[in-house]
Amino acid sequence: MNSTKATGASLTGFGAHDHTRCRAASLAAAEALCAARKLQLTPVRKRVLEILLEAHEALGAYDVLARLAEEGLGSKPPVAYRALGFWVAQGLVHRIEKLNAYVACAHPGRAHDAAFMICRDCGRVAETESHGPFGQSAGEAGFQIETMVIEAEGLCPKCIPGAGL
Amino acid sequence: MNSTKATGASLTGFGAHDHTRCRAASLAAAEALCAARKLQLTPVRKRVLEILLEAHEALGAYDVLARLAEEGLGSKPPVAYRALGFWVAQGLVHRIEKLNAYVACAHPGRAHDAAFMICRDCGRVAETESHGPFGQSAGEAGFQIETMVIEAEGLCPKCIPGAGL
DNA sequence: ACTCATGCTGTTATGTTATAACATATCGCC
DNA sequence: GGCGATATGTTATAACATAACAGCATGAGT
């Protein structure tokens, strides 16, 4: 992936929505969460979350790092990976395995397993909450699930040929 | 990941089973499939599938490549990636996104989306067929799914503390 | 104030995974 | 033989990720 090309990812579905509001809500959730868990909301961490919220799409770690570097907040891979890992651990950022990329969570504040729809044409990513029956069959097999990855790749409404594009 | 360390992955569940039989069945399925689709079952392709069947676990592309190299069948990454890509395209090998690894399909011959349970302790991987309701909600959102990734990470029966290990 | 432990950041170096691009070989077909 | 199609061989590099250690800030305990 060329790091000058971002991987697009509208959240909460492929429709339009109010970025300003969801960004503020996520930041507020992050602050509340850090206070509650006695975690440090450091400049690098805060800025990484903001970058993902502003981009409003899935970004690779090196994309995030490039933006940090522009602002003098760190230029070496571990800086970005550490901050991303912090948010992933807190559940406010999700990693998209198929894209090796990261997105701010669209449902901050609620514990959930996320599921993603990834458009192979425009690259945008939509998050939904997951309610799969998978846990049931895994439970029958005696497997104790800790985390789930659910990602669908295909065509989003705008990119289906003949759609109202 | 150190390429001398293989990622374990028993298929068709975490129980024991007859490797010899499932290996022969998979190879037969591969031959039938290639004949039906007029695809070439070349030495490299055949050997790559055999390597995955013999390993009977998830292997990284460079693990597969190392085994090919031992046998003089190719030593450069594209050789392994091309053969793996071929089988993934045919549905006889699945890629485990969380592990950046590849496993021979446990249900060759049937079209299916696979789901995996990955043990974070012993590294073994079990495949089940997927019947999620995810397609439904995606369909409601107007998203046309082409491929699904469903991976659960956690503890397999043998690795759950207090299990009959 | 001193010292220590902890947690975060800065940096070097390297490890791991993956692909673009082009050269060469093989095979069936006309 | 010449051609197109398919596959492999090879070089080089891109893209993603982490180990390991140094330095610094903060806060607790004395």
Domains parsed from chain A with CATH numbers: 19-104 (1.10.10.10)
Strand C nucleotides where any atom sits below 7 Å of a protein CB: 7-13, 15-21
Give the burial class of A162: count Cβ atoms within 10 A of its Cβ; 0-12 exposed, 13-18 middle, 19 or more buried. exposed
Residue of A nearest to B163 (CA): A142
- pLDDT (tens digit, 9 = 90+) per residue, A24-33? 999 999 999 9
Residue with tokens 């090919």: B68
How large is the angle between the packed helices A61-70 and A77-90, nearest 10 degrees? Answer: 120
pLDDT at A11 over 90: no
- Which letter does DSSP use for residue A158 in this model? G
Q: Which residues of A touch B121 (CB under 8 A)?
A: none
Residues A78 and A56: beta-carbon distance below 8 Å: no
Residues B90 and B29: beta-carbon distance below 8 Å: no
Residue A12 near chain B (CB below 8 Å) = no
Residue A114 near chain B (CB below 8 Å) = no
Neighbours of A14 (CB within 10 A): 20
Residue A132 confidence (pLDDT)? 65
Residue A9 confidence (pLDDT)? 42
Instruction: At B128, list the tokens.
Output: 């089940």
Q: Could A150 and B134 be called an inter-chain contact, meaning their C-beta atoms sit closer than 8 Å?
A: yes
- State the nearest Cα–Cα gap between A48 and chain B, in angstroms: 23
pLDDT at A5 over 50: no
- State the nearest Cα–Cα gap between A144 and chain B, in angstroms: 5
For B82, the enclosing helix (H) or strand (E) is helix B77-90
Task: Say if pTM beats, i.e. exceeds, 0.75.
Answer: yes
Q: Tally A–B CB contacts below 8 A.
A: 124
Q: Which residues of A touch B149 (CB under 8 A)?
A: 97-98, 149-153
Residues A143 and A135: beta-carbon distance below 8 Å: no
Give me the mean pLDDT over the B96-125 stretch.
Answer: 91
Give the burial class of A141: count Cβ atoms within 10 A of its Cβ; 0-12 exposed, 13-18 middle, 19 or more buried. middle
Residue of A nearest to B147 (CA): A153
Least confident of A67-71, B64-68, B126-130, B150-154: B126-130
For B49, the enclosing helix (H) or strand (E) is helix B43-55
Give me the mean pLDDT over the B58-79 stretch.
Answer: 97
- pLDDT (tens digit, 9 = 90+) per residue, A116-131? 999 998 999 999 877 6
Residues B138 and A151: beta-carbon distance below 8 Å: no
pLDDT at A19 over 70: yes
Distance, CA of A60 to CA of A81 (rounded, Å): 10
